[in-house]
Amino acid sequence: DAKTTQPPSMDCAEGRAANLPCNHSTISGNEYVYWYRQIHSQGPQYIIHGLKNNETNEMASLIITEDRKSSTLILPHATLRDTAVYYCIVRVRSGGFKTIFGAGTRLFVKA
């Protein structure tokens, strides 16, 4: 079973920041938080991952709480092309891991 809980859907205005929350209260010390997104009828796309520090790349920022029980993915300036299902996943980073997908959050970016 997936170890994360996400809201089923969210709306965001184009140009605004999209903040997608994720709860992972049972995360283990060696598990990372990963975010993927899936645009309709395509394979999942990697966005970002982190262990305990906040991370930023060209796509997004990842904020992980100090107790690591929750995190937030931030798309700083959402565009219509960011409309997708966003999956928050926790897993170890090596040694035969399996990526188990939960239901994800369906983000609608509106003009």
Partner 1 sequence: GAVVSQHPSRVICKSGTSVKIECRSLDFQATTMFWYRQFPKKSLMLMATSNEGSKATYEQGVEKDKFLINHASLTLSTLTVTSAHPEDSSFYICSAMTGKGADEQFFGPGTRLTVL
Q: Is 100 in the site for partner 1 (CB under 8 A)?
A: yes
Structure tokens at 36: 């993927």
Q: Is 101 in the site for partner 1 (CB under 8 A)?
A: yes
**Phi, psi (rounded to 5 degrees) for 82:** -85, -5
Residue 97 CB, shortest distance to partner 1, in Å, is 8
Q: Is 45 in the site for partner 1 (CB under 8 A)?
A: yes
Do 73 and 7 contact (CB within 8 A), yes or no?
no
Whole-angstrom distance between the N-terminal and C-terminal Cα of the chain?
36
Q: Is 57 in the site for partner 1 (CB under 8 A)?
A: no
Q: Is 39 in the site for partner 1 (CB under 8 A)?
A: no
Amino acid at 32: Y
Residues that bind partner 1 (CB under 8 A): 36, 38, 41-46, 85, 87, 93-94, 96-104
